[in-house]
Amino acid sequence: MTRRFKTALISLGAVVLVLLFFVHGCEHMEEETISFAPPVGNVEFESFSILEWVTSPHQEIRIRLKQPSDIMQLLDLRVFGDFQPEMTDEDAITRFGKPLQTRADDFGGSWSKYPTPLGYVEIGVDRRTSPTDDGEKSPPPGRRSLQGRTDKAPDEIFRQPLLEVVRKAQKMTPRAEDRELSIFDSEHNLILDIWMKNGRIDHMELFRHIDR
């Protein structure tokens, strides 16, 4: 085997490795549906990464409930206190008094902060537009929004059925740093979104009126 042939062989191997990296590593998606005990039922898991070998994947989990009230079996809604997503600023002031803080975001939305038993909520106007073509969850300009935040650990907020889903998600995609849990009703209307980062709850958003 000549030196020139060895060099050509090494170059060819390098090209193959580069091609494998970009074909397999540029974009990778995994989908799986798993059945859990009621009230959870079938749960869809989807993980996506742009550079699989370099970046951590993003994981989305979709849960569909038979009744919106079943959500109280999944987590402690005291994160949201007695606030409801349809409340206006005037409604909140009338019922709860002046907010702890008000702010404007980079999109022109205004937010009022109130304490709750497990953290705090921000209620206001979300004027963001979605960067994706997602007609179900993209907030239109001026949509009322109720977001809850807590520094409690997930096992202090999530009840056992939801904890089982989260643990399964972590086992399926252990490298995922960002997870989004979307909970829908039987007609595929969004009830609640939960964003998790590095195993902690980042924030939650309640989309439907839930009596509690």
> What end-to-end distance do the CA atoms of the chain give, in Å?
78
Residue numbers of the chain with a pLDDT score lower than 70:
1-27, 50-55, 129-141
For the chain, the domains span 24-206
Write the pLDDT tens digit of every residue in 77-89. 999 999 999 999 9
Cβ atoms of residues 103 and 171 within 8 Å: no
Write the pLDDT tens digit of every residue in 140-169. 567 899 999 999 999 999 999 999 999 999
Cα distance between residue 163 and residue 73, in whole Å: 11
pTM across the whole model: 0.79
Cα distance between residue 10 and residue 108, in whole Å: 56
Who contacts 189 (Cβ-Cβ below 8 Å, separation ≥6)?
A: 207, 208
Whether the CA torsion 185, 111, 58, 119 is positive or negative: it is negative
pLDDT of residue 56: 79
